[in-house]
Amino acid sequence: MRTAGFRKVLLVGILAAEGILSGCGSRAPAGSGSAPSALPVPSGEVVLYSGREESLVAPLLLKFSTATGIPVKVKYGSTAELAATLLEEGSRSPADVFWAQDPGGLGAVAAADLLAPLPQKTLGLVPENFRSARGDWVGVSGRARVVVYNTNKVQPADLPSDMWGFTEPQWMGRIGWAPSNGSFQVMVTAMRKLWGEDKTRAWLQGIIANAAKEYPKNTPLVQAVASGEVEVGFANHYYLLQISKEEGTVLAAANYFLPGGGPGSLVMVAGVGQLATAPNSANAQRFIEYLLEPDAQRYFAQDTFEYPLIAGVEIAAGLQPLASLNTAALNVSDLIDTRGTIKLLKEVGALE
């Protein structure tokens, strides 16, 4: 599969060790006069395959390079696409670190024995249910599944307590969903684990029967809810907060955390693993450690509105604490069979 080309974060300039992002960054030739001499950096770089969007994580990569002096060379793409690339490259991969949006991609790469065991001191920074049982990858930020609803058309009392309620006929023509989105597919994977294949199939067929409108991903879905194009949508909690911040306005939408628990109350993680064949293994480990330091965890909390996973970091204003949510009783290892989920989605006609 094709992925985007590499991009590089480099440290440039003497004053304040200020970093810049460029398409394929390079140092200015010595004596050229076009830029200050580059600061010395540690040996090597870190090569990152990122399933997280550039707009979300590029500022954090810059912060890492500024703090450590380690340049980051990045290949962006979807988590599934990059996982497939890693499986194809195998031991020939130039990647040091795989940063996935969801556990499915990490699980596929781990199952092929392409990830190295992480130190216990790193794994121990996050709760056990947010890291691999094999110890070869670790969650770095959390995303809660929610129902986003239009506040002009729907009241919280109108909403069902769990996902099954949306198969009822009163939701005909009012639902938006994004079945090709990776996070949605992880939620369906949770349904298969908690409900079994038959009930999950029946839920999907019920949502299709209710004429759910399809969107390519969560951002346009949440915008459609806010505009009243649809009345409810299944998404991750942070999209509404990010869009509100970007547009500088309060949208006519709100997040509803399903009180009944189950797969609609799933808390997912974005996680990272070090490739077993990492050419820059020391820098890879330093990068993973950085993502679990308070500075990076505060970035997730305040800039991307995700849940920090280490203790002692405050969540964004207006979010419900993780401990207060009636979350699905699942471990991240229960969420890696997205291949079976995609097969089911195709069988019911939710995916081509």
Tell me the per-residue pLDDT of 177-210, one tens digit each, with 9 for 90 and over. 999 988 899 999 999 999 999 999 999 999 999 9
Residues 218 and 337 in one domain: yes
Q: How many domains, in total, are found in the chain?
A: 2
| Selected residue with higher pLDDT from 328 and 80 | 80
If DSSP codes are grouped into helix, strand and coil, which group holds residue 315?
coil
Q: Rounded to whole angstroms, how far apart are CA atoms 271 and 312? A: 19
Residues 132 and 273 in one domain: yes
Q: Which domain holds residue 283?
A: 6-140+268-319
pLDDT grade for 9, boundaries at 50, 70 and 90? low
**pLDDT over 70, % of the chain:** 88
Q: Is 100 part of a structural domain of the chain?
A: yes
Residues 253 and 276 in one domain: no
Residues 48 and 69 in one domain: yes
Q: Is 10 part of a structural domain of the chain?
A: yes
Pairing of strands 72-76, 46-50: parallel
Residues 245 and 160 in one domain: yes
Residues 204 and 278 in one domain: no
Residues 204 and 305 in one domain: no
Least confident segment among 34-38, 227-231, 323-327: 34-38
Q: Is 199 part of a structural domain of the chain?
A: yes
Residues 221 and 334 in one domain: yes
pTM of the complete model beyond 0.85? no
Render the burial of 41-79: b for 16+ CB within 10 Å, e for the rest. Answer: eeeebbbbbbbbeeebbbebbbbbbbbbebbbbbbbbbb
Residues 47 and 178 in one domain: no
CATH number at residue 136: 3.40.190.10
Q: Is 1 part of a structural domain of the chain?
A: no
